[in-house]
Amino acid sequence: MGEAEKFHYIYSCDLDINVQLKIGSLEGKREQKSYKAVLEDPMLKFSGLYQETCSDLYVTCQVFAEGKPLALPVRTSYKAFSTRWNWNEWLKLPVKYPDLPRNAQVALTIWDVYGPGKAVPVGGTTVSLFGKYGMFRQGMHDLKVWPNVEADGSEPTKTPGRTSSTLSEDQMSRLAKLTKAHRQGHMVKVDWLDRLTFREIEMINESEKRSSNFMYLMVEFRCVKCDDKEYGIVYYEKDGDESSPILTSFEIVKVPDPQMSMENLVESKHHKLARSLRSGPSDHDLKPNAATRDQLNIIVSYPPTKQLTYEEQDLVWKFRYYLTNQEKALTKFLKCVNWDLPQEAKQALELLGKWKPMDVEDSLELLSSHYTNPTVRRYAVARLRQADDEDLLMYLLQLVQALKYENFDDIKNGLEPTKKDSQGSVSESVSNSGINSAEIDSSQIITSPLPPVSSPPPAAKTKDSSDGENLEQDLCTFLISRACKNSTLANYLYWYVIVECEDQDTQQRDPKTHEMYLNVMRRFSQALLKGDKSVRVMRSLLAAQQTFVDRLVHLMKAVQRESGNRKKKNERLQALLGDNEKMNLSDVELIPLPLEPQVKIRGIIPETATLFKSALMPAQLFFKTEDGGKYPVIFKHGDDLRQ
């Protein structure tokens, strides 16, 4: 962008100086009174109107807003005129730029002496200080003077200085706009051509003023310059965008509405007619025209969070057979279905099997809270089966969160029955050890061997089949089956679920969701335990990880309870890490790092451990890796391991 195309500006609220206005010259002739007026008022002979030279006029200036004055008026100093009225004087108004409202205007009145201690208005004119785009006026302006009246500061004003009521005034206004555009750099500047043009403009303006019956007062608004750059003053009120609370009346009129929260019979009837089974055969071959096709493409391109209107839903339903070839349109179609109507839901599920298969990443939307139909959710799981392990790892955290919208009873029913109620044994161990039940339910599920398993019923065995080829898998079964085939997926699934199991806020606020995640962990543990040798090795490694993290948490709690400064706590931390008899953290069997299971660690290097200056005292730990290297980790008890 060239320098001439740049717009330099300053906010009016930041310009803490007084407004200045230059009074230039007054063009035009004053109309003398008739002889009858002179006979009726002999003092007119001695007024400035009948002087041989230009009378001693002066100009007063006052700022108004909403018809009320903002400050006292100021006036020009005395000046004797000979052939023309030319004050050429800057007036400093008693108002600063930050004090000007958006609708501020300045009223200019020209006065003539009329006898001792008396003055009469020669004319008045009014002009707004800010333009229609909020820019403070700059440069010179010729203002039309309304004869024999004072300037009017009301809104709208009766003495506007900028009008275009005649052809001559239109010509002057057009030339003024062109001059302003040239001054702001919107035209190419050519010196010799500019001199000729401005001379011609002055001659045209002088000719138009002489031919007009009005007088014109030339004023100039100051320009702001800095580093040879001209800045425009833009109206802006500091903190004007902040909303302020407004107390409304406490008198609320309550009108009883017996139909509130009831079914709208008109909308229900329209919905049933639009989705009628009779329209099925006719809709099958229905093709949209060009305009409707464009509208359908716009609807299909909507983001997942956009709510479809009733008209858009009816349009998608009407052309549902046409849209079956567009995989992106499936989620929009399912949003249009009223799943409370059995016939409509049946049509939608039949069409779901005929629809062009959607992309794997798009199927994640079907696992959100908006889609509760089990068939739809299992269709999404079937599409997820096409994703490889690397892609599934990218979605795994979101899929674990999507378990909140699954059927909790189905997840619980997937648990294999045992000879002794596992929940009872857990509760018994809690009562004997006095440890938090959440910790027992989450961490000891994987670290403790399960009781002997009885033969499950055929249905449950089919549902929990580890081959994962069943198209009727729910999300929980799918995640567990895929995790049993990949150690990296198993690692992240375990720690994602364990975080939800140990979330105290969820346990208190939503105990059903907390219990659901515990059941997921139990099912995961069962699947690992009854797998082949490699799967059981996964379970033992996860148990070793859990034991290692529990010991580390216990160590950090002991360091936090230690009295003294950070240096003393640092020494205590290193001493505990080096004590293999109590903690056994510096030299352990090879286990995957929970944050990055591809890295195998052998323990923590005690002498490199340090504590940070923080309330929770996070520690920087260096793990010994399998190849003899170091792996730095910041450990902070209480934070999510996903961070």
Grouping H, G, I as helix, E, B as strand and the rest as coil, residue 438 is helix
DSSP code per residue over 50-118: G-SS----EEEEEEEETTEESS--EEPPP---SSSEEEEEEEEEEEEGGG--TT-EEEEEEEEE-STT-
Q: Which segment, 207-221, 252-266, 491-505, is predicted with the most confidence on average?
A: 491-505
* CB distance 432 to 508 below 8 Å: no
* CB distance 619 to 634 below 8 Å: yes
Per-residue pLDDT of 135-159, as tens digits, reads: 999 888 889 899 889 999 999 899 9
Paired residues of 85 in beta bridges: 26
pTM score of the predicted model: 0.55
Where does CATH 3.30.1010.10 sit in the chain? 544-635
Farthest-apart Cα atoms in the chain, separation: 129
Per-residue pLDDT of 398-450, as tens digits, reads: 999 999 999 999 889 888 776 544 444 333 333 333 334 444 446 666 666 54
CATH of domain 544-635: 3.30.1010.10
Q: d(Cα 201, Cα 321) in Å, to the nearest integer? A: 70
Give residue for tokens 């004319």: 123
Q: Which long-range contacts (CB under 8 A, 24 or more apart) does 335-344 make?
A: 335/308, 335/370, 336/308, 338/271, 338/275, 339/372, 339/373, 341/272, 341/275, 343/277, 344/275
Tokens, residue 446: 């994987």
Paired residues of 221 in beta bridges: 21, 139
Grouping H, G, I as helix, E, B as strand and the rest as coil, residue 583 is coil
What confidence category does residue 458 fall into, taking pLDDT thresholds of 50, 70 and 90? very low
- pLDDT of the residue at 132: 87
What confidence category does residue 43 fall into, taking pLDDT thresholds of 50, 70 and 90? confident
What confidence category does residue 567 fall into, taking pLDDT thresholds of 50, 70 and 90? confident
Where does CATH 2.60.40.150 sit in the chain? 3-166+212-234
Q: Which residues of 326-357 are buried (b: 16+ CB within 10 A; e: fewer)?
A: bbebbbbbbbbbeeeeeebbebbbebbeebee
- The three-point CA angle 62-68-71 to 5° equals 40
| Other Cβ atoms within 10 Å of 57 Cβ, number | 20
Q: d(Cα 108, Cα 61) in Å, to the nearest integer? A: 5
Average pLDDT, the chain: 82
- pLDDT of the residue at 74: 96
* CB distance 624 to 632 below 8 Å: no
- pLDDT of the residue at 141: 87
At the fourth CATH level, the homologous superfamily of domain 3-166+212-234 is C2 domain (2.60.40.150)
For 5, counting Cβ atoms within 10 Å of its Cβ (0-12 exposed, 13-18 middle, 19+ buried), the class is exposed
For 489, counting Cβ atoms within 10 Å of its Cβ (0-12 exposed, 13-18 middle, 19+ buried), the class is buried
